[in-house]
């Protein structure tokens, strides 16, 4: 084990985190303007390259936010940082446009205590919102332009415990502290200076907890079944709206800088999934998974608020080819190649009509380095979100994901001569 090389890997992780954190996030998907925004990818970059697999895909070198039971100790303490870049070409009946999204997508630390027990902690986004929606109206001296600018995220800070029972059953549970902040600004700008421009701001801060449990059962060395379940999440929302100005009564009296509080409680529904992987000749790994969440059970203040929400269904399938695990073989034979496909519907519709469908093909590569204790994973997903035939906006998406993992052994007792 090279102390210097591992420190370089950890330094690279921290530099990448700083770069993506302060690089600035532009607008993301138009569909991130609804409810909590766009759902984040919780599978590892390895799994994303295989179509988004993450429920039954074991990885001794990487990390995973979807099923805590897949993070098998492997004897090394691991720190992983995940990053995402999304390029979107969108069109609707009025025209077309382009947007880019760039940000960190999670951080995870895994600390093993022997070969059978591990502690994992990390931070990952659950939903991300970043959008600009513009609309022009009126005519002549009454013409105006409206802008809705929103950004925010709902994140989970988690701590997981992993246990290995006779190399047959992997069990894990996570406590999740969920938190987030959303800001949405409504601006109306008039051409005629006789009209008053407005700028109102809606702010919401969320806090809540829930749990995730997972398991992986090894039928054989080649065949594995995985399952994960996340309990419903109750969020306390501190919400307020600040009005630039508003009409106070019928006599056209105005209030300036008025803030109204509108706190509430939101309950997000249970989510669960299951999957299976099969290894062929120690070179090929194939997998298929299903994941769902019953958004029709979404509640606000104890009452159903699922007017246009849909139960989500995601199907992922993919494969990986890795020529060898022999450390004396040529380097290129240690680079895994991954392919996959996923299909899902978003958790909401517009005006309670057609589902919004997203699908993509994926590819990925993994580059081990420093005596195979560290790894750089890359994945690319190319697909489509929404359809003009059924939805207000159609998006062509190109997602690039990257994970860098540094690993070294801790708590090792060295023998003295």
Q: What is the DSSP letter of 4?
A: H
**230 DSSP β-pair partners:** 212, 271
Q: What is the DSSP letter of 362?
A: E
415 has a pLDDT exceeding 70: no
CATH fold, domain 3-408, is Porin (2.40.160)
Q: Model confidence over 374-394: pLDDT tens digits?
A: 889 999 999 999 998 888 889
Which residue in 72, 176, 88, 78 sits closest to 124, CA to CA?
176
Highest mean pLDDT: which of 32-41, 225-234, 326-335, 396-405? 225-234
Q: Model confidence over 160-174: pLDDT tens digits?
A: 999 999 889 999 999
Q: What is the pTM of this model?
A: 0.87
5 has a pLDDT exceeding 60: no
Q: 10 Å Cβ neighbour count for 367?
A: 14
SS3 110: strand
249 has a pLDDT exceeding 70: no
pLDDT at 24: 43
Q: Model confidence over 74-109: pLDDT tens digits?
A: 777 888 888 888 899 988 887 778 888 778 788 888
What confidence tier does 157 reach under pLDDT thresholds 50, 70, 90?
Answer: very high
Q: Which residue has the higher pLDDT, 18 or 323?
A: 323
pLDDT at 3: 39
Question: CA angle, corner 29, sides to 23 and 30, nearest 5?
Answer: 130
pLDDT at 140: 77
Q: Model confidence over 26-60: pLDDT tens digits?
A: 557 888 888 899 898 888 899 999 999 999 998 77
| Average pLDDT value for residue range 311-332 | 88
pLDDT at 274: 98
% of residues, the chain, pLDDT over 90: 45
4 has a pLDDT exceeding 50: no
275 has a pLDDT exceeding 60: yes
Question: CA angle, corner 119, sides to 118 and 121, nearest 5?
Answer: 145
pLDDT at 245: 64
pLDDT at 206: 96
pLDDT at 23: 44
pLDDT at 257: 67
Q: Which two tokens stand for residue 114?
A: 């022997």
2 has a pLDDT exceeding 50: no
6 has a pLDDT exceeding 60: no
Q: What's the per-residue H, E or C state across 364-387?
A: EEEEEECCCCEEEEEEEEEEEECC
pLDDT at 194: 75
What confidence tier does 416 reach under pLDDT thresholds 50, 70, 90?
Answer: low
293 has a pLDDT exceeding 80: yes
Q: 10 Å Cβ neighbour count for 95?
A: 7
Distance CA 366, CA 334 (A): 8
pLDDT at 180: 93
């Amino acid at each position: 084990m090279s102390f210097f090389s591992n420190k370089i890997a950890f330094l690279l992780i921290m530099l990448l985190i700083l770069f993506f954190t302060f690089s600035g996030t532009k607008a993301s998907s138009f569909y991130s303007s609804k409810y909590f925004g766009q759902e984040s990818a919780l599978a590892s970059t390895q799994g994303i390259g295989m179509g988004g697999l993450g429920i039954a895909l074991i990885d001794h070198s990487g990390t995973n936010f979807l099923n805590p039971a897949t993070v098998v100790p492997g004897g090394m303490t691991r720190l992983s940082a995940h990053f995402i870049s999304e390029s979107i070409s969108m069109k609707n009946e009025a025209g077309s446009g382009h947007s880019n999204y760039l940000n960190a997508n999670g951080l995870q630390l895994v600390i093993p205590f022997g070969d059978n027990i591990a502690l994992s902690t990390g931070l990952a986004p659950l939903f991300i919102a970043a959008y600009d929606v513009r609309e022009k109206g009126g005519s002549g001296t009454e013409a105006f332009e409206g802008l809705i600018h929103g950004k925010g995220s709902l994140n989970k800070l988690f701590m997981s415990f992993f246990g290995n029972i006779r190399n047959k059953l992997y069990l894990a549970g996570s406590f999740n502290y969920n938190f987030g902040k959303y800001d949405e600004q409504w601006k109306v700008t008039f051409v005629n200076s006789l009209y008053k421009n407005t700028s109102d701001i809606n702010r919401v801060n969320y806090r809540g907890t829930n749990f995730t449990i997972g398991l992986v059962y090894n039928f054989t060395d080649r065949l594995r079944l995985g399952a994960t379940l996340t309990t419903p999440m109750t969020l306390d929302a501190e919400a307020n709206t600040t009005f630039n100005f508003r009409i106070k009564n019928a006599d056209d009296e105005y209030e300036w800088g008025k803030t109204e509080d509108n706190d509430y409680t939101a309950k997000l529904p249970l989510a669960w999934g299951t999957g299976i992987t099969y290894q062929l000749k120690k070179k090929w790994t194939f997998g298929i998974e299903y994941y769902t969440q019953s958004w029709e059970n979404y509640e606000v203040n104890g009452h159903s608020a699922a007017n246009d929400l849909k139960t989500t269904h995601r199907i992922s399938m993919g494969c990986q080819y890795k020529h060898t695990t022999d450390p004396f073989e040529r380097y290129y034979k240690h680079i895994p190649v991954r392919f996959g496909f996923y299909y899902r519907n978003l958790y909401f519709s517009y005006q309670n009509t057609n589902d919004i469908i997203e699908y993509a093909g994926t590819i990925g590569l993994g580059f081990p380095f420093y005596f195979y204790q560290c790894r750089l994973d890359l994945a690319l997903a190319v697909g489509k979100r929404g359809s003009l035939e059924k939805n207000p906006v159609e998006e062509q998406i190109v997602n690039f994901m990257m994970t860098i993992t540094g690993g070294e052994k801790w708590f090792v007792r060295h023998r003295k001569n």
